[in-house]
Amino acid sequence: MKIAIIGAGIAGLAAAYDLAGAGHEVAVYESSHKVGGLASGFKADNWEWPLEHFYHHIFETDDDILDLVAEIGAKDKLFFPKPITSFYMDGQIYPFDSPLRVLLFPKLGLIPKIRFGLTALYLRFTKNWQALEQETAHSWLRRMIGDEAYHTLWEPMLIGKFGDEYKNVNMAWFWARIHKRSFRLGYFRGGFQGFVDALAETVRARQVTIHLNSNITKIEPQAGGGIRLQTETEQTESYDKVLATTSPHLLTRLAPTLPDEYLANLKQLKSMGAVVLVFALKHKLTDKHYWINIPQDAGLPYLALVEHTNYVDARHYGGDNIVYCGDYLPVDHEYFSLSKDELVERFLPTLSNFNPDFDPSWLKDSWLYRAKYAQPIPYLNHSTNIPAIKTPLEGLYWASMSQVYPWDRGTNYAVKIGRDAARLMK
């Protein structure tokens, strides 16, 4: 068959790899000037490696991406440091990434810690997520770990992640974050851009054509079968099958001839956007802390501070110390319209909360990245709301982070959804 894929992110490239491997003629259309999607990176002149626009890592348990890495012969590019993940509370940073550190955590009493630990064990071993999606994380966690642990640890995180929607998120989403995650985190030599470039090179070796700077503006069925794509230059090309790896909102605009019921299902899917400000500093900000969770009530203007160079050696970035300040926000939030300079003015002074010696003169450079489709919101019984990969429009398929549920969005499940779609299309 002649197949087109819209989007050269990890899902689209994984699907292209499998479809071309099955003998099909595959073309990939990407609106950006490079491959990678949300996992793509950028590179300062003095850096050896590119850096992700949005902070990324994988887990030792991420079997789908690990399998694909091995298949394309890139296993030697993967390594697994063991960074420190922490909570910021009352002006202090507390490591919180092992059973011992949970026991030593001073902000919880012994009984709440025991309840917290037993609940985490249950979530680690139970596989019955279907029952959990019938109740919100807010109510389930309060009941199981108690108000003290919930209000101290998880409620501020849920608020930071989902804003006003936090009480509506189902417990299966939270289960997925505990059930299959490891303490060790993986990264690629050359960053995730290095990985997607290697994947793209392997895909091209399978005779796949990747069209960069190619924006698709319309998907429509054609008489006699097949799908016609139109680019912004109004060129058209016909295919037997098409896989779109876009956001649900974009798919409704590209394919308005989809049946009303499927379109309505796409439109009811909700998500949060992401805003990330990246700083290159002259000095280390914290002592070994990689990922610092920041409760919503801490009064800081972001959800997480990620000191990337406490995870990956700063020598790969010309000695620059890399710090991300990131947040998930509704797409109408002012952060999506404020300039980089305005956000730097708000964010930069807050770094002194993590290091009293911090001075704004430490700043060498900064970058701002935003994505309006970054974190799907899973409501009660969300599994019944997910549109099928195979759309009712004959020959059109859709694969997105909105369909990886109950798992959370990420590179591992981008690989999974892309390969799942390829299997359906073969």
User: Residue 353: its pLDDT value, please?
Assistant: 97
CB distance 197 to 43 below 8 Å: no
CATH code reported for the domain at 2-79+190-269+386-425? 3.50.50.60
Query: Please, which pLDDT band fits residue 347 given cuts at 50, 70 and 90?
Result: very high
CA distances from 143 to 115, 140, 149 (A): 10, 5, 11
User: Residue 221: its pLDDT value, please?
Assistant: 95
What is the per-residue DSSP string for 176-199?
A: HHHHT--SSEEEETTHHHHHHHHH
Query: Please, which pLDDT band fits residue 182 given cuts at 50, 70 and 90?
Result: confident
pLDDT digits (tens, 9 = 90+) for 248-297: 999 999 999 999 999 999 999 999 999 999 999 999 999 999 999 999 88
Query: Please, which pLDDT band fits residue 16 given cuts at 50, 70 and 90?
Result: very high
User: Residue 184: its pLDDT value, please?
Assistant: 85
Please state the rounded mean pLDDT for residues 319-345. Answer: 97
User: Residue 183: its pLDDT value, please?
Assistant: 79
User: Residue 224: its pLDDT value, please?
Assistant: 87
For the chain, how big is the Rg over CA atoms in Å?
Answer: 22
Within 268-335, residue ranges assigned H as helices are: none
Q: Is the pLDDT of residue 70 over 90?
A: yes
The pTM of the full predicted model, rounded to 2 decimals, is 0.94
How far apart are the C-alpha atoms of 401 and 97, rounded to whole Å?
Answer: 26
Please state the rounded mean pLDDT for residues 22-48. Answer: 97
Please state the rounded mean pLDDT for residues 167-194. Answer: 93
* Tokens 């919100």 sit on residue: 136
Tell me the percentage of the chain whose pLDDT exceeds 70.
Answer: 100
The domain segmentation of the chain, as residue ranges, is 2-79+190-269+386-425, 98-179
DSSP state of 256: T
CA distances from 59 to 83, 130, 186, 261 (A): 12, 23, 6, 37
